[in-house]
Chains A and B, each alone.
Chain A
Amino acid sequence: MSLSTLLFADTAEQAGALADWVRPLAGAAAPVLAAVPAPGVPAPFAEDLCPPLADLARRQAPDLILVAATPLGRELAPRLAVRLGTGCVSDCVHIGRGEAGEVLADRPVFGGVAIATVAFRTAPAVCLVAPGVTGPNRGESSVVVTALTPEAGGPGRGKRVVQQREVERGVDLSAADRIVAVGRGMARREDLEQIRELAAALAAEVACSRPLAEDLGWLGAERQVGLTGTTVRPALYLAVGISGQVQHVTGMKDSRVVVAINNNRAAPIFQVADYGIVGDLYEAVPALLAALRLSES
């Protein structure tokens, strides 16, 4: 039995990607209804989109409401769930059905080391799915798009965007082919020079774990890998002095080849590494640099 589905996305293009992703569940027969914010309203608020989306959901009575996990969608989905008297699951990676027909949503927990299956007892099931999970719009699904006009006069009144500016684009780790990431194992800020040298020899970008960016401020937030930083998928990920806490692993676990250098054999990073060197990074990094130079000559 197929799941009747309603989609919400920022754009029709994004709605198409959601529709393609959910097609095996929703069934290919009927077109999927998707709601997107009406054009001409720059930066609509979740507060104002929630009432018309809830009205649409009540009329359609879908089993599943799939919301694109964009900044807007992440705000809208929990509000919608409250308004509809149902639940919401963030960061779904898979959706299925249980024996009693209930919607089951899988999501990573504890930073991604495990996947939890969450069962809905209420309908509709509101599920957030990240664009990185759905993949691109392949145009395989037939989608009927309806434009939602924000409802003025709700909780969004008295809220306004005062100013907008582009984020200065620096390094983009998500596009890097090779990354050398450094963590708490590094004792002094000036020792970062060794990491930069290693990264240069590998034609890699320099990255770091959360403590180095957020607590110590040795590197900028744009170089932080993990749950609260950037998610990366390079061909080579070299983790130096990183213990491999779950927040970090979440951000790099899809790298093709993972190498870990750590002095603690029990560090969790070795569980997610293809190659590991157990040892003092202050010995291993110069040795690796020397070996790389030797291999080039």
Chain B
Amino acid sequence: MRILVCMKHVADSTEVRVDPDTGVPQLRGVPTKISDYDRHAVEAAAAAREQLSAQVTVATVGPREAIKTLKEALAMGADQAVLVTGAPAEGLDAVTTSAVLAAVADRFGPYDLILCGEASEDGYNAQVGPALAERLGIPHITYAESLTLAAGQVTAVRRAGDHMETVAAACPALVTVNRKANRPRLPTAIQVLRVQSSRIQEVRPVDLGLDEAALADAQPTRVVGYRPTPMHRKGVILDGEPAAAARQLVAHLQREGVLA
């Protein structure tokens, strides 16, 4: 059994601030990290590796700093990693990313199972999984809250609106994993540091048979501007000792008419 986990190296969204006037995200100096949802995808693969002797490859399309994310996945138990560099610094749109990942799957596969996080932490488009499955001509199961692998079949429990469903798909299949799916193991900093860089294979799109210039220029979508989300808030700060501040607050809330 061979498993591919697709990952994303992201700006830590808890640290991202936007310019209050222009709405442009200030990304310089913001720490970068593994997208949290992807930890759950790696955990699911690492568990399959232990239970079914699955062989696990992790892959990402991103800057060289993404080595950090791949090393974390390797420390969690993946066997090998593929880093596709050479994409524009601002990243690729989801549909184009799925084309690069499909080329990775073709070049290093075939894989019985492809795992992704339900979405990325930064963009939360939730497009790459289904788009990649479409390119590979395989079924997908999204937002899996648990998954089991047996006899060439993956079975997952997911929420679809107001009901839960259990869905089975014959491998090869793609599953996007929800944060409820498992508790990702936490490798120590030492374990991550000890991961040998030689286990990470760096390739460029051209190595995968893709035209690099066309890849960036022919992206179907691109961000052309930002603006701040309008927030009309009063911003009244109630200073002073707790009892006085609390009394003032209650008076304000009574005036607003929001108390029961």
**8 Å CB interface, A43-82 against B:** 43, 45-47, 50, 70-72, 74-79, 81-82
CB-defined contacts of B237 to chain A, threshold 8 Å: 265, 270, 275-278
> B50 contacts the other chain (Cβ, under 8 Å)?
no
Knowing A113-B229, A162-B166, A276-B238, say if A227 contacts B220 (CB, 8 Å): no
- In the bound complex, do residue B221 and residue A119 qualify as a contact, i.e. CB atoms below 8 Å apart? yes
B212 at the A interface (CB under 8 A): no
What is the CA–CA distance of A87 and B129 in the complex, to the nearest angstrom? Answer: 14
A30 at the interface (CB under 8 A from B): no
Q: A162-B155, A221-B180 are in contact. Are A110 and B164 (CB under 8 A)?
A: no
CB of B162 within 8 A of CB of A277, answer no
In chain A, what residue has the closest Cβ to B130? Answer: A78
| A window 100-118: CB within 8 A of B | 104-105, 108-118
Give the distance to chain B from A8, nearest Cβ to Cβ, in Å: 14
- For the complex, is A86 an interface residue (Cβ under 8 Å from B)? yes
CA distance A106 to B58 in the complex (A): 32
Residues of A within 8 A of B260 (CB): 177-178, 202-203
Check: A27 CB closer than 8 A to any chain B CB.
Answer: no
- How far, in Å, is A69 (CB) from chain B's closest CB? 10
CA gap between A119 and B222 in the complex, in Å: 6
Contacts of B221 in A (CB 8 A): 87-89, 105, 118-122
B33 → A minimal CB distance (Å): 14
* A272: Cβ under 8 A from any B Cβ: yes
Q: Collect the chain B residues with CB atoms within 8 Å of residue A111's CB.
A: 13, 124
Is A29's beta carbon under 8 Å from chain B?
Answer: no
User: Contact flags (1/0) for A224-265 with B, using CB distance below 8 Å?
Assistant: 000110000001100000000111000001001111000001
Of the candidate stretches A18-26, A143-151, A153-161, the one touching chain B is A153-161
Residues of B within 8 A of A74 (CB): 126, 130, 142
**Chain A, residue nearest B231 (CB):** A272
Contact flags B1-32 to A (C-beta < 8 A → 1, else 0): 00000000000011011100001110000000
Judge if A41 is at the interface, Cβ distance under 8 Å.
no
- Tell me which residues across on chain A come within 8 A of B249, comparing CB atoms: 259, 275, 277, 288, 291
Contact A273 B135 (CB under 8 A): no
Nearest residue in B to A81 (C-beta to C-beta)? B95
Question: In chain B, residues 21-67, which have Cβ atoms closer than 8 Å to a Cβ of chain A?
Answer: 23-25
| B224 interface residue per 8 A CB criterion | yes
Q: Mark A267-281, 1 if CB is under 8 A from B, else 0.
A: 010111111111110
Question: Contact check: which of A114, A156, A202, A290 meets B139 at CB < 8 Å?
Answer: A156
Interface segment out of the listed B77-85, B194-202, B240-248: B240-248
A271-B227 in contact (CB<8A)? no
Any B CB within 8 A of the CB of A292? yes
Which of B13, B238, B243 is within 8 Å of A246, CB to CB?
A: B13
Contact, CB under 8 Å: A78 / B220: no
B42, chain A: closest CB distance, angstroms: 17
CA distance A120 to B223 in the complex (A): 9
Q: Which residue of A lies closest to B22 (CB)?
A: A114
Q: Name the B residues within 8 Å of A98 (CB-CB).
A: 224
Size class of the contact patch on chain A: 35 or more
Tell me whether B215 is interfacial, beta carbon within 8 Å.
no
Picked from B169, B222, B226, B227, the residue with its CB within 8 Å of the CB of A159 is B169
Most chain A CB atoms below 10 A, which of B142, B179, B233, B256: B233
A83 x B224 contact (CB < 8 A): no
Neighbour of A277 across the interface among B133, B235, B245, CB < 8 A: B245
Q: Is A167 an interface residue (CB 8 A)?
A: yes
Nearest B residue to A203, CB-CB: B260
Q: Does A188 contact B (CB under 8 A)?
A: no
| In the complex, B131 has a CB within 8 A of chain A | yes
Q: How far is the CB of A33 from chain B (nearest CB, A)?
A: 22
Q: Cβ of A114 and Cβ of B228 under 8 Å apart?
A: yes
Instruction: Determine whether the beta carbon of A79 is less than 8 Å from that of B160.
Output: no
B139 neighbours in A (Cβ, 8 Å): 45, 47, 155-159
A254 to chain B, nearest CB (A): 10
Given contacts A111-B13, A117-B225, contact A167 B162 (CB under 8 A): yes
Contact at A43–B160, with CB atoms within 8 Å? yes
- Which B residues are in CB contact (< 8 Å) with A122? 220-221
Q: Is A297 an interface residue (CB 8 A)?
A: no
| Cα-based distance from A247 to B226 in the complex (angstroms) | 18
Q: Which single residue of chain B is at the shortest CB-CB distance from A235? A: B258
Complex interface: chain A residues within 8 A of B162 (CB): 166-167
B149 an interface residue at 8 Å Cβ cutoff? no
A-B pairs with the 8 shortest C-beta distances? Answer: A87-B220, A158-B170, A203-B260, A87-B221, A287-B246, A287-B242, A78-B127, A291-B246
9 contacts between A and B (CB under 8 A): A50-B134, A78-B126, A82-B131, A104-B224, A108-B229, A256-B258, A257-B256, A276-B236, A276-B237
Binding site for B on A (CB under 8 A): 43, 45-47, 50, 70-72, 74-79, 81-83, 85-91, 98, 104-105, 108-122, 154-167, 177-178, 202-203, 214, 221, 227-228, 235-236, 245-247, 253, 256-259, 265, 268, 270-280, 283-284, 286-288, 290-292, 294-295
